[in-house]
C-alpha cells in the first residue's frame, strides 16, 4: 500500500498544498492536521516500531517522575502509586530541619567535588602521556590494561577494595613493613574519602582517555609544524596546540561530570559504607535509600530524592549555559 514512502521524504510537504483547499474551510489548522495524518499514513510502520520503546519510557522513566508527587502526598505501602493524602511541603520541611540530611548533603558535595577534582583531569593527563608514546604496541598495551577496571562490576571493585584494605591486606602489610600498626581503613570515617576518590580514579582513569585520544588524533599536524617554526618547544606546543585542540571534548565531559555530580557513586558507597563511616561516607542517595527502602518512609525519601534530582538538573543546565557563554561549546 504505502510502498515507496522512503523514496519521497518531502512528499508530506508536497501533498499538503494539493489537499489543502478542500479542507481549509472545515479546520482552523488544516496544514498541521493533514501533515500528521499524511505522515502517519506514510510512516505507520515506522511509528509502530516506537510503541514498545515509548511504553518503556512512559512507564519506567516518566511515570516515576510523576510518581514524585508522593513527596507532597503521603504514600502508604500498598496504597495509591500517587499517594493518598495531600500533605503539602510537610516532607520538605521535615528534611530541611533534619540535621542528618544536612550532613549527607555536605558529604555529597565534598565527595562529588573531590571526585570531579581528581577524576576529571587524570584522564586528560594520561591521554597526553599516552599520546607521546611512539611505539604503537606499547601504547595499545597500556590502553588495554587501563580500560580493564571499567569492565568490572562495582561489587567486584568493592570486594577488591575490602580485601586490599583488610587488616591482613596488602596495604596493611606495607604498613607493617615500615613498622606501622595496622589501620582498619573501612571502619574509620577519616579514611573514607581518600578510599572512595582513589578507587574512583583507578576505575575511570583509563576508560576516560578514549575520547581524549580520539580528539588528539584529529589535531592537524600542520599546527605543530607551524608552532615549531615559531620556535615553540614541546611544552609550549602542548599548551598552545594540543590543549586547545581537545578543549571541546574537555568541556563536554566536564558538563556531563557536573551533571552527575549529585549522583556520586551511590552503589559503591552503599557497598563500602557502614554505620561507623556514615559521618563522612553517607550521601544523599544512600541516605534516602535507607530512609525510604529500608525504613519505609517513602514520601520523606521521595522529597529528598526530588530535591536531589532538581539540583542535578539545575547543575547540568547551568554548566551547559556557562560553557556556551564562556567557551562556545555546549551539549545542546
Q: Which residues pair with 85 in a beta bridge?
A: 74
249 touches another protein by CB under 8 A: yes
164 touches another protein by CB under 8 A: yes
Per-residue exposure over 193-218, b if at least 16 CB sit within 10 Å of its own CB, e if not: bebbbebbbbbbbbbbbebbbebbee
Cα–Cα separations (whole angstroms), residue 94 to 21, 35, 51, 131, 301: 61, 51, 41, 53, 11
Considering only residues 291 through 330, tell me which ones interact with another protein, judged by CB under 8 A. Answer: 292-294, 298, 301-302, 305-306, 308-309, 312-313, 316
* 213 and 130 Cβ atoms separated by less than 8 Å: yes
127 touches another protein by CB under 8 A: no
In this structure, the chain runs to a length of 332
Comparing CA positions, the residue from 315, 283, 289 lying closest to residue 302 is 289
Considering only residues 209 through 228, tell me which ones interact with another protein, judged by CB under 8 A. Answer: 210-211, 214-215, 217-218, 221, 224-225, 228
Range in contact with another protein (rule: CB under 8 A) among 18-26, 85-93, 101-109, 208-216? 208-216
Tell which phi-psi region holds residue 180, choosing left (phi > 0), alpha (psi between -120 and 50) or beta: beta
Considering only residues 83 through 112, tell me which ones interact with another protein, judged by CB under 8 A. Answer: none
Distance between CA atoms of residues 136 and 179, nearest Å: 43
232 touches another protein by CB under 8 A: no
Distance between CA atoms of residues 126 and 117, nearest Å: 15
**DSSP assigned state of 169:** S
Tell which phi-psi region holds residue 328, choosing left (phi > 0), alpha (psi between -120 and 50) or beta: left
6 touches another protein by CB under 8 A: yes
Helix, strand and coil in the chain, % to nearest 5: 75, 0, 20
Compute the least distance from the CB of residue 239 to another protein, in Å.
14
28 touches another protein by CB under 8 A: no
Range in contact with another protein (rule: CB under 8 A) among 14-22, 88-96, 107-115, 134-142? 134-142
Nearer to another protein, 110 or 128 (CB): 128
Compute the least distance from the CB of residue 88 to another protein, in Å.
18
Range in contact with another protein (rule: CB under 8 A) among 22-30, 99-107, 109-117, 141-149? 141-149
Nearer to another protein, 25 or 253 (CB): 253
Distance between CA atoms of residues 84 and 72, nearest Å: 10
State whether residue 204 is helix, strand or coil.
helix
52 touches another protein by CB under 8 A: yes
Nearer to another protein, 109 or 271 (CB): 271
Range in contact with another protein (rule: CB under 8 A) among 97-105, 107-115, 138-146, 188-196? 138-146
Compute the least distance from the CB of residue 147 to another protein, in Å.
6
Residue bearing cell 556520586 = 264
The only residue of 30, 35, 191, 311 in contact with another protein, by rule CB under 8 A: 35
* Size of site (CB under 8 A) for another protein: 117
Residue bearing cell 557513586 = 265
Considering only residues 253 through 282, tell me which ones interact with another protein, judged by CB under 8 A. Answer: 259, 267, 270-276
Amino acid at each position: 500500500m504505502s510502498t515507496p514512502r522512503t523514496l519521497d521524504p518531502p512528499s508530506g510537504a508536497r501533498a499538503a498544498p494539493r489537499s489543502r483547499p478542500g479542507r481549509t474551510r472545515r479546520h482552523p489548522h488544516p496544514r498541521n492536521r493533514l501533515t500528521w495524518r499524511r505522515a502517519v499514513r506514510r510512516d505507520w510502520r515506522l511509528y509502530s516500531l516506537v510503541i514498545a520503546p515509548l511504553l518503556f519510557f512512559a512507564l519506567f522513566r516518566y511515570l516515576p517522575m510523576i510518581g514524585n508527587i508522593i513527596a507532597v502526598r503521603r504514600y502508604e505501602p500498598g496504597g495509591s502509586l500517587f499517594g493518598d493524602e495531600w500533605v503539602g511541603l510537610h516532607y520538605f520541611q521535615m528534611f530541611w530541619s533534619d540535621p542528618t540530611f544536612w550532613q549527607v548533603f555536605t558529604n555529597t558535595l565534598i565527595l562529588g567535588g573531590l571526585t570531579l577534582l581528581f577524576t576529571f583531569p587524570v584522564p586528560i593527563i594520561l591521554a597526553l602521556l599516552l599520546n607521546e608514546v611512539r611505539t604503537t604496541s606499547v601504547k595499545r598495551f597500556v590502553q588495554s590494561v587501563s580500560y580493564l577496571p571499567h569492565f568490572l562490576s562495582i561489587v567486584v571493585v568493592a570486594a577488591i577494595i575490602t580485601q586490599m584494605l583488610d587488616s591482613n591486606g596488602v596495604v596493611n602489610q606495607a604498613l607493617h613493613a615500615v613498622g606501622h600498626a595496622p589501620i582498619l581503613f573501612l571502619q574509620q570515617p577519616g579514611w573514607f574519602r581518600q578510599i572512595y576518590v582513589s578507587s574512583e580514579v583507578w576505575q575511570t582513569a583509563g576508560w576516560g582517555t578514549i575520547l581524549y585520544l580520539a580528539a588528539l588524533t584529529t589535531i592537524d599536524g600542520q599546527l605543530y609544524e607551524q608552532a615549531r617554526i615559531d620556535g615553540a618547544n614541546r611544552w609550549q606546543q602542548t599548551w598552545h596546540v594540543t590543549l586547545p585542540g581537545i578543549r571541546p571534548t574537555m568541556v563536554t565531559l566536564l558538563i556531563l561530570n557536573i551533571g552527575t555530580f549529585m549522583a556520586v557513586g551511590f552503589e559503591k558507597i552503599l557497598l563500602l559504607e557502614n554505620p561507623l563511616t556514615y559521618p563522612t561516607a553517607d550521601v544523599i542517595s544512600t541516605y534516602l535509600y535507607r530512609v525510604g527502602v529500608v525504613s519505609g518512609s517513602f514520601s520523606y525519601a521521595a522529597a529528598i530524592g526530588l530535591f536531589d534530582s532538581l539540583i542535578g538538573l539545575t547543575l547540568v543546565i547551568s554548566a551547559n549555559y556557562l560553557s556556551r557563554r564562556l567557551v562556545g561549546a555546549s551539549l545542546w
